Structures are given as structure tokens and as C-alpha cells.
């Protein structure tokens, strides 16, 4: 059978085997890449949520008159009067609250930062694992640390009172 051109069965089987090995390796690499991409996106979303939560807390404290802010360390509650004379609270203890004068509160069960000025329970930020508040200088400076399940943390130092 000299002079006949074509592919033998062995050549066909070998080329199919090589193609299967290349395709399966490519699929494994693609699958790993997709999983890593999803993980990275979720972690980035959590980091952005932490940053947003820190900014919300900082801005809420900034709306209060610095001369009248009281930090109740055991309860992790900041209480103050805004510039219109209304009393507001910022509760970071993780407990649910239905009090209507709460500018901001942290609800630990769902990992959310919420607002409850008139009973609306608006969720402002998610994916928060914990919030720690330390009073660095009594009645003047607090440190707030916000963390998530990826061990990311956002730390803010906030002045809560003017020196007297």
C-alpha cells in the first residue's frame, strides 16, 4: 500500500490522547483561575465595606458637637448633641436597637452597620465581623477597629472632644 496518503489509527489515537491531556490541563488552570478571581472579588468587596463603615462612623461622629460627645466605654456607645440641639447615639456594641435617636449602630448577628433615625432600620454597610472601640485619651480620642472574616482591618483614630 505504498503511495496511499492518510492517517493510521494509531496516529489518530495518539493525537486524540495528546489533545485530551492538553484540554484537561487547560480546564484545570482555567477553573483554578476562576475560583481565585471570585475569592479576590469577594475579599475586595469586604475591604471596601470596611472602609465604607469606617467612613460612616467617622462622618456620623463629625455631625455631633465635639463639646458634648460622651463615650460610654462599657456599652460602646457614643452619645452627643448635633448642631441643631438634637441628642443622637452611635452604638457599636453589636446589639439590635429600635431606639429612634440612633444615628448609627452595629448589628453583630448580621454583620451590618445600620441607621435608625425614625424606625427605618436602613442597612448602610455589610460584611463586618467585629468592631472594637478603645478610648485612647479619655473624653478626647478613640480608636475604632473594624474587621472582617478575611482578617482585614480598618482602623480610625477619631477626636471626640476638644481639649478643655
Q: At 114, is the pLDDT very low, low, confident or very high (cuts 50, 70, 90)? A: very high
d(CA 32, CA 107): 35
153 phi/psi in degrees, rounded to 5: -135, 145
pLDDT-based confidence at residue 3 (cuts at 50, 70, 90) = low
Q: Which three cell numbers stand for residue 114?
A: 445600620
| pLDDT for position 153 | 92
Contact 100, 119 (CB under 8 A): yes
pLDDT of residue 119: 78
- Residue 26 is given by DSSP the state H
Phi first, then psi: give them for residue 17, nearest 5 degrees. Answer: -65, -45
Q: Is 3 helix (H, G, I), strand (E, B) or coil?
A: coil
* CB atoms near residue 125 (< 10 Å): 22
Cell numbers found for residue 136: 485612647
* Neighbouring-strand partners of residue 100: none
- Confidence band of 4 (pLDDT split at 50, 70, 90): confident
Q: Is the pTM of this model over 0.95?
A: no
64 pLDDT more than 70: yes
**157: β partners:** 143
- With a pLDDT cut of 90, the percent of the chain lying above it is 66
pLDDT, one tens digit per residue, over 128-148 is 999 999 999 988 899 999 999
pLDDT at 162 over 80: no
User: For the chain, which residues make up each domain, given as ranges?
Assistant: 39-159
Amino acid at each position: 500500500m505504498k503511495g496511499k496518503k492518510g492517517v493510521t489509527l494509531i496516529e489518530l489515537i495518539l493525537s486524540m490522547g495528546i489533545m485530551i491531556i492538553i484540554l484537561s490541563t487547560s480546564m484545570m488552570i482555567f477553573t483554578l483561575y476562576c475560583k481565585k478571581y471570585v475569592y479576590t472579588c469577594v475579599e475586595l468587596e469586604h475591604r471596601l465595606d470596611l472602609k465604607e463603615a469606617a467612613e460612616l462612623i467617622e462622618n456620623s461622629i463629625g455631625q455631633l458637637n465635639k463639646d458634648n460627645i460622651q463615650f460610654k466605654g462599657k456599652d460602646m456607645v457614643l452619645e452627643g448633641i448635633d448642631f441643631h440641639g438634637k441628642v443622637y447615639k452611635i452604638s457599636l456594641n453589636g446589639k439590635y436597637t429600635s431606639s429612634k435617636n440612633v444615628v448609627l449602630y452595629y448589628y453583630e448577628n448580621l454583620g451590618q452597620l445600620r441607621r435608625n433615625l425614625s424606625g427605618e432600620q436602613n442597612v448602610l454597610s455589610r460584611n463586618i465581623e467585629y468592631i472594637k472601640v478603645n478610648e485612647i485619651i479619655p473624653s478626647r480620642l478613640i480608636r475604632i477597629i473594624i474587621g472582617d472574616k478575611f482578617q482585614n482591618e480598618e482602623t480610625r483614630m477619631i477626636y471626640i472632644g476638644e481639649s478643655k
